[in-house]
Amino acid sequence: MGIEGATVVTVLRHGAVEGRPFIYRGRQDDPLSELGWSQMEAATRATVGADRVRDIDAGYRGHGPLLQVASSPLQRCQVFARHLAERHGVPLRLSPAFQEIAFGDWEGLTPEEAALLNPVEHQLFRSSAGKVAAPGGENLMELRDRVRAGWEAWLADARGGRYLLVTHAGVMRALLTELIGLPASHVYRIALPEAAHFQISLLAGEAPILLSLNACAA
C-alpha cells in the first residue's frame, strides 16, 4: 500500500540551449533552442503530465494535480517553467537560489579555454570534488548552502501533492548530495543530460526517498 500525504517533487534540468556547446555556462543567460523546448515538453509529459505519479520503490506516491512550479530565473529555465505553470493554472516561484553555479571568470569558456587562461586554478578546480571554485565563482559548498535554503523556503508549507522545479545540473547535483547523502566526490559520476530529471518523495518524519533518476514515469 502506498503512503498517502507524501510531497513528490520532480526536479527537471533545462533542455538544449542556443549558443556555444560544452562551455561553463553558469549565469550566462542563453535561451532554449527548439530542440531544448521539445526535450522539456517530452520530459514533463512523462513526469507531471499524468493524473498520478506511479508507485515506485516502497509505494510512495503523489496524487492529484501539479500544485506549484519553481524555477531558476535564468531564461533557459524560467521561460518554459512559466509556460508550464500557465498551462496547469498553478503558481510560479522564481528563485535565485535555484540558479546554476557561478563560474566567475570562466563563464562562456570551454574547459580547454579555461585551462589555458588559468592552468593551475583549473587543475585544482577539476581535482577538488567541488571544494575549489573558479576564479570569481562559487564552490560546491556555497552552492549547496544556497540551494538548501531555497529548497526549504519553497517547500516549507508543502503538505503533500506534486511540485516541479526547473533548474540546472549543478543545482540537481547539490540537491542529490543534500537529500540522499551522496558524497560530494561522487556527484560528477551521475549523468544529467539535457532535460534530465529525478523525483523525490518527502514525507514528514521520514528520510527523503529518491523515486527515479532520468527515468520516465509511466
pLDDT tens by residue, 13-36: 999 999 999 999 999 999 999 999
In tens, the pLDDT along 75-105 reads 999 999 999 999 999 999 999 999 999 999 9
Average pLDDT over residues 200-206: 92
Give the per-residue pLDDT at 59. 36
pLDDT exceeds 50 at position 50 = no
Q: How many helices (H) and strands (E) does the chain have?
A: 6, 6
Q: What is the model's pTM?
A: 0.90
**CATH class in words for 7-103+139-213:** alpha beta
Give the per-residue pLDDT at 215. 62
Burial class of residue 75 in the structure, from the number of CB atoms within 10 Å of its CB (0-12 exposed, 13-18 middle, 19+ buried):
middle
Average pLDDT over residues 165-190: 92
* CB contact at 8 A, 9 and 155: yes
- Cite the DSSP H helix spans in 17-91: 34-47, 75-88
Which residues have C-beta within 8 Å of that of residue 144, sequence separation ≥ 6? Answer: 174, 177, 178
Residue 104 in 3-state DSSP? helix
Residue type present at position 16? A
Percentage with pLDDT > 90 across the chain: 79
- For residue 32 the three cell numbers come to 532554449
| Angle value at C-alpha 182, between 78 and 152, nearest 5 degrees | 45
Q: Sorting pLDDT into bands at 50, 70 and 90, what band is 214?
A: confident
